[in-house]
Structure 1
Amino acid sequence: MGDLGFWRLAEADPDRLALVDPEGGEHTAGDLLARANQAAHGLRALGLGTGDTLAVLLPNGVELIELFLAALQVGVRITPINFHLVGPEVAYILTDSEAKAFVAHERFAQVAIDAADEAGFPVEARFAAGSIDGFRPLAELGGDQPTTAPEDRTTGAAMHYTSGTTGRPKGVRRDLAPIGPDDMAELMGYLPNLFGIAPRDGHVHLTVSPLYHTAVLMWTGNALSLGHTVVLMDKWRAEETLQLIERHGVTYSHMVPTQFVRLLDLPEETRARYDVSSLRNMVHGAAPCPPEVKRRMIDWWGDTIQEYYAATEGGGTVITAAEWLERPGSVGSPWPGSEVRIYDDEGNQLGPGQVGTVYMSLMADFEYKGDRQKTDDNRIDGFFTVGDLGELDDDGYLYLRDRKSDMIISGGVNIYPAEIEGELITHPKVADVAVFGIPHADWGEEIKAVVETPEGVEGSPEVEAEILEWAATRMARFKLPRSVDFVETLPREPNGKLMKRRLRDPYWADADSQI
């Protein structure tokens, strides 16, 4: 193989700036490597071997990066846990992942204690960044170990848990390749290469979302292994993003459409205050981007805006800003080595212009840990799906319509909420919006919109009427919401995914209670 991979590069150039933590602390590649090596030795001393799991409940910070770089050297699977979960949910992941070590941050102390106790997790394998009752200081995991590389290095992997919108979350578990971590890191460099991001070319990556998300950790890990400096954010703020871009000469990041909306919500004078000319590749994915939002971001950041469609399980498609302007709404064509197909509910492959379930070819086989049935149910002919609906055009460009589970059927007509949300979000009194179906005695379902208003605007019958009257000038009548409810904040995960079931379920529960 070549000469890429964080560990190789750090040994060759230990004084290079590798990481800027959320507090502004700077970490050279050599320092990061030494601490990652110590943690790798510590994991082995604790009894973790190839294929074992390390679970972490940590915010974005140097501790998570060090443990990630340690696990990947000794064949350990690292499972970053969503720190918004509560004790029983974390306990489930600890048990299901068969974790043999658990590292938590004192910020999440009570959740960590509750989870470890419920899971019956061994006291000697609990570690804390900071202080947590009953947890060993993280320094005891490798603090007295050598800073040299461990022997018999073999690649580990991240094992993320899906969001579990239907039933319990499942770990996406891939077989470990019997090669060294640097060689695996070099192979993983294919993803940034799809966007023209090359190794050791002065790039600076800004991590804006929690590292417990698959794409966020993948992009951050790839940046380290390509010899790029990584700047970590802890809690995302729109103006701080612009400040960091200017201060560190950020060239690329991985963002989600909700962050675009918040950036565009900044006053024009605030946006103009910061120099963002260093930007080269601002990649977005994970959630549909309303066309008007994307168009405004392209107007602001130009052809740096790039999009892809993929999933924790694999992928996918890519599209440049220029291609998108020619095909508004598309999420791109398959990247090299990938293929996208559309199937109907009977498993028949559909042609261009026909809406069905989107399936992508597997990059590497995987299984949902402990759930062979779920693994089999999302496969057709070696292709997998995450349940999205879409269609291909004659040139093979993919257009997403919605999640299959979110589609509204009203009076026998299929209605796609994402399209409606993309229009409503452009109204000045709409800061965020969710559209879904609620029960209707005659039509089966009717369209409901739930709106988060911007600061200084209060939801009211007058605002509802204003939004609906405006919407009638933008969409066909059958797509119009019949009513608008207002909430203080919509429930979104930090990666931008809307937890729509939290909003939708009470309406259906109320209907069920009246039967």
Structure 2
Amino acid sequence: MALTSIGHRTTVPAARTVPELLAWRRTVHPDRVAIEVHGVARLTFADWEAGATSVTSALGQAGLRHGDRVGLVFGARDWTEFAVAYCGVLRAGAVAVPLSDRLAAGQLRYALEHCAARIVLHGNDTPPPAAPVGVPVRPLADLLAGVNKHDVQLPASVDDGDTAAADLPPVRPGDLAQILYTSGTTGRPKGVAASHANLTIGAPSHPRRLALAHSERFLHAFAIGTNAGQTMLFNALTAKPTALTLPRFTPVRFARLIESAGVGTVFVVPSMAIELLDSGALSDRELTDVHLIGSTAAPLAPAVATRLAATFPEAAIVNYYTSTEAAPAQTVMIFDPARRDAVGRAVDGQLRIADADGNPLPVGSIGDVWLRAPHSRAYYQDEAANRATFRNGWVRMGDIGRLDDAGYLYLSDRHEDVIKSGAFKISSLEVEAALHEHPYVAEAAVVGVPHPVLGSAVAAVVVPRPDTPPAELALPALRGFLAGRLADYQLPARVLLLDQLPRNPGGKVLKRQLTSQFDN
């Protein structure tokens, strides 16, 4: 009987570091634009390399040591600055910690404390973020203004991807490179740690093998500090086209850029695709130059994929299924009406369906979804979570599914109560913890309810304390109370007041019963 453990078992190429990749691209494409923020800034590979080396020098002068963590808080206007800071941190042998500028002050502070960040850098157009006491917070321009230019030495030319700058700190493929924080399924964010080797898996070593070669530019609007955003950063570093983004997403602005010269690839999340389709912004536009629409962060509904295929007649509609923990392992699905519900086959790793103990199950069986890639990731300083999620390089995805005879994955349910809203995965426990800080909340439970654009929205069920004034727990007041504790995308869109929460005999809240109460 066949077991559902499939994927590529090709020989893993020699691991490289991120600075080696950047040095190689500067050598072969010095004047090519790597990243463009529309109407704001452009960054060539030569400028990227020079800027990163300046950041390395500045951090060295500031006393940064190998393995130190550096918080990076940059907004959508600051993509070019973020790229320079990120590679400069890694070239210094330190660890980059990208964080969304949309996080609440308490969330930022927790992440920075958890990773013991030595310094926080932010964009010149990004307000200074909250940081733990004693941790310096500096704009990137301010950091670079203090660099002793005589100490900055650009790397010499590189051959075969090897950095030749002897004055730089030694960086090895197995060194920790980045920590991405994700709420996941627990009440506290988890830091997902990745090595250089993990980040550079599959990167090209020959200029004729660059990905997305059908495009001169690829377009996205993903936030820095997310796994999707990091994927776009590495596409900019390793693919042929320029990464094109915009300071603020609106359907009309994004649609206008889709139509601009050289855009052959467009990356979205399902909620963004729905906004574009429903807004009318794509009407009467010339879209035949787009050959790939890539959707990530959540499975793309078949009806939405069908509409995208009709709107972009020359494009393959591709769904990517992965997680911050499992990347770069993923499944990839070119939309096929004959397999409308499939989320793809394994790429850049292996895929299996397993029982509760992690043992592979036969084809067609429903069980836990696991992915595995070489040089796997891990949770930073969280051994208990590592034991629950990682096993011999395999990553438990938290989803339930099955594989067919051809190796296509079909998802059937989720183990946990994570709310996937747009590009974000929202921990119901984290929202519940914030609700319990309210002086008039006795009990609280958070569930996801259907939303026409985001897929799911946050809904809060609250048991008030006795004699609670009704206005105190009305939706506007509740959102106002939570605004300083949660990111905007975590705030409840609906609220329901009950006398008690339904529970099973073991005391667990029956969230499915709560979800059904929002149907009316």
Superposed pair shares fold, TM > 0.5:
yes
Given that residues 242 and 276 in structure 1 are in contact (C-alpha distance below 8 angstroms), is that contact kept between their aligned partners in structure 2? no
The structure whose RCO (Cα within 8 Å, separation 6+) is larger is: 2
Distance in 2, matches of 1:65 and 1:283, equals 22
Match of 2:385 in 1: 374
Report the counterpart of residue 171 of structure 2 in structure 1. 154
Q: Distance in 2 between matches of 1:297 and 1:262?
A: 12
Q: Which amino acid aligns with 2:95?
A: R
Aligned to 2:102: 84
Q: Is residue 47 of structure 2 the alignment partner of residue 36 of structure 1?
A: no
1:35–1:66 contact (8 Å) kept in structure 2: yes
Indicate how the Cα distance of structure 1 residues 222 and 402 shifts in structure 2: closer, same or farther if over 3 A, else same.
same
| Aligned position for 2:127 | 109
Deviation readout 1:286-340 (Å, 9 max, x if unpaired):
112211001111222244211221111123211223xx2221111111125x322
Change (3 A) 1:14 1:83: same
Matching residue of 2:118: 100
**Aligned: 1:353 with 2:364:** yes
In the TM superposition, residue 147 of structure 1 has moved relative to its aligned partner by 5.7
CA RMSD of aligned residues (A): 4.0
How many residue pairs get aligned? The number is 416
Residues 69 and 273 of structure 1, relative CA distance in 2, 3 Å threshold: farther
1:265 matches 2:281: no
Contact 1:4 1:186 in 2 (8 A): no
Contact (CA 8 Å) 2:215, 2:262: kept in 1 or not?
no
1:318-467 correspondence runs (5 A): 318-321=332-335, 324-335=336-347, 338-345=349-356, 347-380=358-391, 382-406=393-417, 449=449, 451=451
Distance 1:382 1:34, change over 3 A: closer
| 3-state SS of paired residue (1:71) | helix
CA distance in 1, matches of 2:66, 2:448: 50
CA separation in 2, counterparts of 1:449 and 1:344? 29
Q: Which residue number in structure 1 is paired with residue 188 of structure 2?
A: 168
Point out the structure with the larger helix share.
1
Amino acid at match of 2:405: D
Q: Residues 369-403 of structure 1, C-alpha deviation per residue, up to 9 Å, x if partnerless?
A: 11101000123564221311212122221011232
Question: Match for 1:140 among 139, 142, 145?
Answer: 145
Amino acid at match of 1:26: R
Q: Look up the equivalent residue of 1:148 and give its one-letter code.
A: L
Q: Distance in 1 between matches of 2:107 and 2:148?
A: 30
TM-score by length of 2: 0.69
Which one-letter code corresponds to 1:319 in the other structure? M
> Which runs of structure 1 show a deviation greater than 6 angstroms over 4 or more consecutive aligned residues?
1-4, 497-501
Deviation at 1:231, TM superposition (A): 1.4
Tell me the CA shift for residue 67 of structure 1: 0.6
CA distance in 2, matches of 1:317, 1:93: 29
Q: Given residue 310 of structure 2, which amino acid in structure 1 is its aligned partner?
A: D
Contact 2:74 2:123 in 1 (8 A): yes
Alignment map for 1:175-186 (pairs within 5 Å): 175-177=195-197
Which letter maps to 1:158? Q
2-structure distance, mates of 1:356, 1:513: 28
Which whole-Å deviations, capped at 9, do the CAs of 1:255-303 have from their partners, x for residues lacking one?
2111110111122xx4243323332322212112211001111222244
The CA distance in 2 between the partners of 1:163 and 1:57, in whole Å, is 17
CA distance in 2, matches of 1:360, 1:198: 23
Question: Offset at 1:210?
Answer: 0.6
2:441 equivalent in structure 1: none
Query: Partner of 2:500: helix, strand, or coil?
Result: helix
Q: Return the alpha-carbon distance in structure 2 between the equivalents of residues 274 and 353 of structure 1.
A: 43
Q: Which moved more, 1:226-235 or 1:292-301?
A: 226-235
Q: Distance in 2 between matches of 1:292 and 1:389?
A: 22
Q: Look up the match of 1:216.
A: 229
Counterpart CA distance in 2 for 1:172 and 1:448 is: 24
Q: CA deviation at 1:364?
A: 1.9
Give, in whole Å, the separation in 2 of the partners of 1:81 and 1:97. 12
| d(CA) in 1 for partners of 2:187, 2:102 | 18
Point out where structure 2 has 5 or more consecutive residues left out of the alignment: 1-13, 156-164, 429-444, 455-474, 480-486, 508-520
Offset of residue 73 of structure 1: 2.1
Equivalent of 1:307 in 309, 313, 319? 319
Runs of 5+ in structure 1 lacking a partner?
A: 131-136, 178-183, 408-416, 426-433, 437-444, 455-485, 491-496
Q: Is the 8 A contact 1:38 1:143 kept in 2?
A: no
CA distance in 2, matches of 1:448, 1:170: 21
Q: Match for 2:30: what amino acid?
A: P
Deviations 1:48-73 (A, max 9, x none): 23322111111132211111221232
Report the CA distance shift for 1:332/1:204 in structure 2 as closer, same or farther (over 3 A). same
Contact 1:353 1:392 in 2 (8 A): yes
Provide the C-alpha distance between the structure 2 equivalents of 1:350 and 1:387, rounded to a whole number of angstroms.
Answer: 16
User: Which position in structure 1 is the counterpart of 2:91?
Assistant: 73
Mapped partners of 2:127, 2:321: distance in 1: 35
